[in-house]
Structure 1
Amino acid sequence: MAGSSILDSFRQAPWLTRRRLVAYPRLFLAVYFVSAVVWMLRSKGLIDPAGHPIGADFIDPWSASWLTLHGAPSAVYDVARLWSVERTAVADPSVGFAGFHYPPIYLLIILPLALIPYALSLLAWTVTTFAAYLATMWTIDPERDSLWLAIAFPGALVNLTNGQNGFLTLALLGGGLLTIDRRPILAGVMFGLMSYKPQYGILIPIFLLATRRWRAIASASVTVVILAALSFAIFGAQTWHAFF
């Protein structure tokens, strides 16, 4: 009976009032902000106290961009060459290796990253993709309190601190779902852009086929073919071979 009562408390959540839903995210963000400031103050240059680069999940796409801009796109899949650029990016010869596990299509998206230094590029990437994330969440639920929940979501905080591409992925997926009824071709383009993460090549087509979104399917397919052809033409067959 006691166990059932506890489960009912979580299922019905009478304690989770509107007032608490408004207060909890802000309290959480305050604690997080203070922790982040302390963490940054303890960092040495672009290396955090744990010995990882600031923006640990951003260092490999930035380094891949650098190699591509310097005429060696296939080298992004070469451990020694990519690692060398990563160490240079944060000025630390002891930094660990971060592999680039994306197809050459992703190089089309991240190509401009290394046009500016690593730290500035990380800041620009984070601000831009975070804005896209917030715009998508605001479109889903245009209410300020809901936006606070979206900002305080732990996954969002992980993206903010690590320079991940999760904000970009969510913006494309969310944008596609939001526009699929009114503008299926545009939705298909957004789904096609997500091909930089091949795992969605299984998830999204199943959804589109199950709901018979034929125009979106056609648009997504054409987008993927164009992206693959462009990456093949710009970066060469050797880059695709290196990826596989």
Structure 2
Amino acid sequence: MATPPRLAFLASRTDEAQATRQSYASRYGNATPEECDVIVALGGDGFMLQTLHRYMSLDKPVYGMKSGTLGFLMNHHRPDDLLERIHRAQPAILKPLEMLAVSDAGTTVHALGFNEVSLLRQTKQVAKIRVFLNGRIRLDELVCDGVLVSTPAGSTAYNLSAHGPILPMNSATLALTPISPFRPRRWRGAILLADTEVRFEILDHYKRPVSATADSTEVRDVVEVTIRESADRTVTLLYDPEHNLEERIISEQFAS
């Protein structure tokens, strides 16, 4: 019989997630993230993103179970057969977006976004943004509340709420989606190849300040933001085969 994997149980701060963590740790043991074979994340999508950011450098697969309000990135919570489920789980490889944001104070911030990188106006004034793809101007002036670049894994989150397209997991594409666009009036975004470099230049940034956010990292008063898919950073999520991430994304396209 194969040696069972060493598991590290991590949980969000809710009482439900903490109680579940204690129950699983008592039953299966609880290794540290550094010593484990698989990280088990208990919570919602927000906690999953926190886990990915914090432990990405360990290169350990993450098996998530829903114990929160939103759990698109998580497996269903069932108390039994955890080891068998992990043994049967299928991997999904995620590549984050790399954000390079320059503020009007001259500071430069690097951050990663597994779901999306979004730009939003900070005041009642609409934003005016120039859009470059691979160094070429594609929109000289986008007048909007904001704009975002989404990965396939994040395309059913904020991107979908902003009326962006749902992207298949293995499509090697990104979604470029405006948020409440005013001009050009008929432009609703674009689907880009994953190796496209997207650069946003903020026009009239003193009068129309804009913030940039990569997952939970926010930079205020940006003047320029460059986004590209990471070439060398990945994380591995594990999913039950009957409800894997690819199937969930396909199902979202037929949801009523």
TM-score band (shorter)? under 0.3
Alignment TM-score, normalising by the size of structure 1: 0.28
Which of the two has higher C-alpha Rg? 1
Alignment TM-score, normalising by the size of structure 2: 0.27
The structure with the largest helix share of the pair is: 1
The structure with the largest strand share of the pair is: 2
